[in-house]
Protein backbone atom coordinates (compact mmCIF):
# COMPACT_ATOMS: atom_id res chain seq x y z
CA UNK A 1 0.00 0.00 0.00
CA UNK A 2 1.98 2.92 -1.27
CA UNK A 3 1.07 6.56 -1.37
CA UNK A 4 -2.17 7.47 -3.03
CA UNK A 5 -1.68 9.75 -5.99
CA UNK A 6 -4.17 12.43 -6.76
CA UNK A 7 -4.55 12.97 -10.48
CA UNK A 8 -5.17 16.62 -11.27
CA UNK A 9 -7.24 17.27 -14.35
CA UNK A 10 -6.25 19.91 -16.85
CA UNK A 11 -8.59 22.72 -17.83
CA UNK A 12 -9.34 21.05 -21.15
CA UNK A 13 -10.47 17.84 -19.44
CA UNK A 14 -12.64 19.82 -17.02
CA UNK A 15 -14.25 21.70 -19.93
CA UNK A 16 -14.91 18.43 -21.78
CA UNK A 17 -16.50 16.93 -18.67
CA UNK A 18 -18.70 20.00 -18.19
CA UNK A 19 -19.78 19.87 -21.85
CA UNK A 20 -20.68 16.20 -21.43
CA UNK A 21 -22.88 17.02 -18.43
CA UNK A 22 -24.53 19.94 -20.24
CA UNK A 23 -25.25 17.90 -23.37
CA UNK A 24 -26.88 15.28 -21.16
CA UNK A 25 -29.47 17.88 -20.24
CA UNK A 26 -32.16 18.57 -22.77
CA UNK A 27 -31.20 21.38 -25.12
CA UNK A 28 -34.50 21.96 -26.90
CA UNK A 29 -37.22 23.12 -24.58
CA UNK A 30 -40.44 24.26 -26.18
CA UNK A 31 -42.33 26.95 -24.32
CA UNK A 32 -45.91 25.80 -23.96
CA UNK A 33 -48.69 28.24 -24.75
CA UNK A 34 -50.45 27.55 -21.43
CA UNK A 35 -47.37 28.60 -19.46
CA UNK A 36 -48.20 32.19 -18.60
CA UNK A 37 -47.51 32.24 -14.89
CA UNK A 38 -44.13 32.36 -13.22
CA UNK A 39 -45.08 29.61 -10.77
CA UNK A 40 -44.39 25.91 -10.99
CA UNK A 41 -43.92 22.71 -9.06
CA UNK A 42 -40.83 20.56 -8.76
CA UNK A 43 -41.21 16.90 -7.83
CA UNK A 44 -38.08 15.27 -6.39
CA UNK A 45 -38.14 11.48 -6.29
CA UNK A 46 -35.09 10.23 -4.45
CA UNK A 47 -34.49 6.48 -4.18
CA UNK A 48 -31.51 4.43 -3.11
CA UNK A 49 -30.44 4.12 -6.75
CA UNK A 50 -31.27 7.39 -8.52
CA UNK A 51 -32.70 10.91 -8.20
CA UNK A 52 -35.46 12.06 -10.55
CA UNK A 53 -36.59 15.70 -10.73
CA UNK A 54 -39.67 16.78 -12.67
CA UNK A 55 -40.73 20.36 -13.42
CA UNK A 56 -44.46 20.93 -13.91
CA UNK A 57 -46.81 23.86 -14.11
CA UNK A 58 -49.50 24.42 -11.47
CA UNK A 59 -51.94 22.13 -13.30
CA UNK A 60 -49.51 19.20 -13.18
CA UNK A 61 -48.53 19.25 -16.86
CA UNK A 62 -44.91 18.09 -17.17
CA UNK A 63 -42.66 20.73 -18.72
CA UNK A 64 -39.33 18.94 -18.37
CA UNK A 65 -37.62 16.27 -16.31
CA UNK A 66 -34.15 14.94 -15.73
CA UNK A 67 -32.36 12.35 -13.65
CA UNK A 68 -28.84 11.57 -12.48
CA UNK A 69 -28.60 8.83 -15.08
CA UNK A 70 -29.71 11.16 -17.88
CA UNK A 71 -26.99 13.67 -16.99
CA UNK A 72 -24.27 11.05 -17.22
CA UNK A 73 -23.74 9.49 -13.80
CA UNK A 74 -23.48 5.70 -13.80
CA UNK A 75 -23.86 2.97 -11.22
CA UNK A 76 -23.74 3.85 -7.54
CA UNK A 77 -22.72 7.44 -8.31
CA UNK A 78 -26.32 8.17 -9.34
CA UNK A 79 -27.46 7.87 -5.73
CA UNK A 80 -25.01 10.43 -4.29
CA UNK A 81 -25.96 13.90 -3.01
CA UNK A 82 -23.53 15.43 -5.52
CA UNK A 83 -25.42 13.86 -8.42
CA UNK A 84 -28.71 15.13 -6.98
CA UNK A 85 -27.35 18.67 -6.77
CA UNK A 86 -26.21 18.49 -10.41
CA UNK A 87 -29.67 17.30 -11.45
CA UNK A 88 -31.25 20.20 -9.54
CA UNK A 89 -28.83 22.62 -11.21
CA UNK A 90 -29.93 21.37 -14.63
CA UNK A 91 -33.61 21.78 -13.74
CA UNK A 92 -32.91 25.34 -12.51
CA UNK A 93 -31.39 26.26 -15.87
CA UNK A 94 -34.38 24.95 -17.79
CA UNK A 95 -36.83 26.61 -15.37
CA UNK A 96 -35.16 29.96 -15.94
CA UNK A 97 -35.38 29.45 -19.71
CA UNK A 98 -39.10 28.78 -19.33
CA UNK A 99 -39.54 31.87 -17.15
CA UNK A 100 -40.44 30.09 -13.91
CA UNK A 101 -39.27 31.91 -10.81
CA UNK A 102 -41.40 30.65 -7.91
CA UNK A 103 -41.70 26.95 -7.17
CA UNK A 104 -43.23 24.64 -4.63
CA UNK A 105 -41.19 21.50 -3.99
CA UNK A 106 -42.70 18.06 -3.37
CA UNK A 107 -40.21 15.45 -2.13
CA UNK A 108 -40.80 11.69 -2.27
CA UNK A 109 -38.48 8.89 -1.24
CA UNK A 110 -35.79 8.00 1.24
CA UNK A 111 -32.61 8.51 -0.79
CA UNK A 112 -29.58 10.58 0.12
CA UNK A 113 -30.23 13.24 -2.53
CA UNK A 114 -33.27 14.87 -0.95
CA UNK A 115 -31.70 17.70 1.01
CA UNK A 116 -28.88 18.44 -1.41
CA UNK A 117 -31.35 18.80 -4.30
CA UNK A 118 -33.46 21.29 -2.33
CA UNK A 119 -30.38 23.27 -1.30
CA UNK A 120 -29.19 23.38 -4.88
CA UNK A 121 -32.58 24.67 -6.05
CA UNK A 122 -32.42 27.44 -3.46
CA UNK A 123 -28.85 28.47 -4.27
CA UNK A 124 -29.48 28.72 -8.01
CA UNK A 125 -32.00 31.50 -7.67
CA UNK A 126 -35.45 29.90 -7.55
CA UNK A 127 -37.87 31.19 -4.92
CA UNK A 128 -39.13 28.21 -2.95
CA UNK A 129 -42.68 28.81 -1.72
CA UNK A 130 -43.18 25.52 0.11
CA UNK A 131 -41.52 22.17 0.69
CA UNK A 132 -43.82 19.17 1.14
CA UNK A 133 -42.87 15.59 1.91
CA UNK A 134 -45.19 13.22 0.02
CA UNK A 135 -43.40 9.97 0.82
CA UNK A 136 -46.02 7.20 1.11
CA UNK A 137 -46.29 5.84 4.64
CA UNK A 138 -48.16 2.59 5.32
CA UNK A 139 -50.86 2.75 8.00
CA UNK A 140 -50.32 -0.73 9.47
CA UNK A 141 -49.63 -2.04 5.95
CA UNK A 142 -49.87 -5.63 4.74
CA UNK A 143 -50.07 -8.70 6.89
CA UNK A 144 -46.56 -9.88 7.81
CA UNK A 145 -45.38 -13.32 6.69
CA UNK A 146 -45.68 -16.36 8.96
CA UNK A 147 -42.84 -17.13 11.33
CA UNK A 148 -40.13 -19.20 9.67
CA UNK A 149 -39.75 -22.77 10.96
CA UNK A 150 -36.37 -24.36 10.55
pLDDT of residue 30: 53
**What single DSSP character describes residue 84?**
H
Q: Using the predicted structure, report yes or no on whether residue 18 has a pLDDT greater than 80.
A: no
Q: Is residue 21 part of a domain?
A: no
Boundaries of domain holding 71? 37-133
Domain tally for the chain?
Answer: 1
Find the CATH number of the domain harbouring 104.
Answer: 3.30.420.80
Structure-derived torsion over alpha carbons of residues 110, 64, 26, 45, reported in degrees to the nearest 10: 0
Q: Is residue 1 part of a domain?
A: no
Q: Helix, strand, or coil here: 81?
A: helix
Q: Is residue 14 part of a domain?
A: no
The string of pLDDT tens digits covering residues 91-100 is: 999 999 989 9
pLDDT of residue 31: 53
- Are 42 and 53 spatial neighbours (Cβ–Cβ below 8 Å)? yes
Q: Using the predicted structure, report yes or no on whether residue 24 has a pLDDT greater than 90.
A: no
Q: Is residue 41 part of a domain?
A: yes
Q: Is residue 24 part of a domain?
A: no
Q: Is residue 64 part of a domain?
A: yes
The string of pLDDT tens digits covering residues 114-148 is: 999 999 999 998 999 999 999 998 898 889 899 99
Q: Helix, strand, or coil here: 121?
A: helix
Q: Using the predicted structure, report yes or no on whether residue 6 has a pLDDT greater than 90.
A: no
Q: Is residue 7 part of a domain?
A: no
pLDDT average, residue stretch 102-110: 94
Band (62; pLDDT cuts 50, 70, 90): very high
Q: Is residue 12 part of a domain?
A: no
Amino acid sequence: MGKKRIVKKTEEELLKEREKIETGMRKEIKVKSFLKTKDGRIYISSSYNNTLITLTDLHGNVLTWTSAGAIGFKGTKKATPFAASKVAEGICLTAKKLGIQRISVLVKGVGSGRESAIRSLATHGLDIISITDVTPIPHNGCRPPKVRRV
